Amino acid sequence: MVALTQSSSSAERVRIAIVGAGAIAELAHIPALASIAEAKLVAFVDPEEARRETLRGRWPAIPAHATLADLEKSGLPDAIIVAAPPEHHLEPALWARRHDLHLYLEKPVAASRSDVDRLVDAWRDAESVAMMGLNYRFHPAVIELRERISRGEIGRLVTLHTVFATPAVGPDDWRGSARSGGGALLDLGTHHLDLLSHLTGTQIVDVACVMNMRATENDTAHLTATLSTGCTAQCAFVFGAAETDRIEVIGERGALTLDRLNGSVAARSERFGYTRGAALGRARALMAAAFDGVTRARGEPSYRAALAAWLRKIRGLAVHLPTLEDGARLHRLVERAASASTSGERLPVSIDEADTS
């Protein structure tokens, strides 16, 4: 493991390999790393030959290996980002632990409970820095919303409504299979369930859920939850609908609505109607509509902010990061919601399972 100090020169940049260099690596991790002075992207590992050819075409200076063993032969990096499909997270995470490398693990931790438990156990007490890729905690609008809630702007919280929807998954996409770590509840719900606790500082104490299949396995999940304060939450997670990522927090004195795709937080109070924040949000939404999805994904600031926080921690600064244990608790919460869907019952969630703050 590298011991880097705050005064490390650019020659001491953290050398990072991306393991699983598919869509999110290309859209988010690679451009983010290119813009962070402390980071140096040194290798890709991807088992798909066609994907490696594409990577070599786009980034000819960065070697693309087929296996972790090939990467090891060519020289170990200081850190890895794991962005393979969830059923393939365990092996590189254990490999990184064996070599004392730092780890940025994309969500969810893994596809199965046994992989989650093995991975988290292996990393317990590690000295190198492991971070769960719950990047939306680092989104400026999420940070703003959290601050406004905690300063009491809308009073005591009564209910939250959230929607996270993305376009349909293709026929060969791992997101279409629960065994591979897909399904809307695990893939999209992990983010919003994390934010429910992160934004409100409370825990989920019970959950009910209905999952349906419109085109692919579990591509629609509707979940209701009760938080420890008695506040309720209703969430919809959907593949195959217009791209939407919205969280509305309704309190006794007003409401705040986060629209991540246009990066806004709009405020409303019963007495004053929508405030200037809402007008700005609408203006931003109109501007955002002028761009296509790829343009917006490239403009998503939370990946860079999350990776920059990871690198600050690697350099020895005191930074609060989402942990692998946070990811494991979210996995258990998702499992509980899936059980509630099967049984048709509202199920209690133990505090330990729900605490993601």
Ligand X SMILES: NC(=O)c1ccc[n+]([C@@H]2O[C@H](COP(=O)([O-])OP(=O)(O)OC[C@H]3O[C@@H](n4cnc5c(N)ncnc54)[C@H](O)[C@@H]3O)[C@@H](O)[C@H]2O)c1
The nearest distance, CB 253 to ligand X, in angstroms, is 32
> Which position has the token pair 């940025």?
104
* Binding of residue 24 to ligand X (CB under 6 A): yes
Of the candidates 17, 40, 64, 86, which one interacts with ligand X according to CB under 6 A?
86
* Binding of residue 78 to ligand X (CB under 6 A): no
* Binding of residue 99 to ligand X (CB under 6 A): no
Q: With contact defined as beta carbons under 8 Å apart, do 142 and 302 qualify?
A: yes
* Binding of residue 48 to ligand X (CB under 6 A): yes
The nearest distance, CB 217 to ligand X, in angstroms, is 15
Q: What's the alpha-carbon Rg for the chain, to the nearest Å?
A: 20
Tokens describing residue 212: 């349906």
The nearest distance, CB 241 to ligand X, in angstroms, is 17
Of the candidates 2, 4, 22, 163, which one interacts with ligand X according to CB under 6 A?
22
Of 19, 17, 29, 190, whose CA–CA distance to 89 is shortest? Answer: 19
* Binding of residue 88 to ligand X (CB under 6 A): yes
* Binding of residue 326 to ligand X (CB under 6 A): no
Rounded to whole angstroms, the Cα distance separating 91 from 136 reads 25
Q: Answer whether the bond into residue 60 is a cis peptide, omega within 30°.
A: no
* Binding of residue 19 to ligand X (CB under 6 A): yes
Q: Which part of the chain contacts ligand X (CB under 6 A), choosing from 81-89, 147-155, 259-267, 330-338?
A: 81-89
Rounded to whole angstroms, the Cα distance separating 45 from 91 reads 12
Q: Which part of the chain contacts ligand X (CB under 6 A), choosing from 7-15, 39-47, 142-150, 202-210?
A: 39-47
Of 177, 133, 126, 110, whose CA–CA distance to 32 is shortest? Answer: 133
For the segment 106-165, give every residue that binds ligand X (CB under 6 A): 106-107, 133, 135
H or E segment at 43?
strand 39-45
Give backbone dihedrals phi and psi of 176, rounded to 5 degrees, phi first.
Answer: -80, 0
Q: Which residues bind ligand X (CB under 6 A)?
A: 19-25, 45-48, 51, 83-86, 88, 106-107, 133, 135, 174, 187
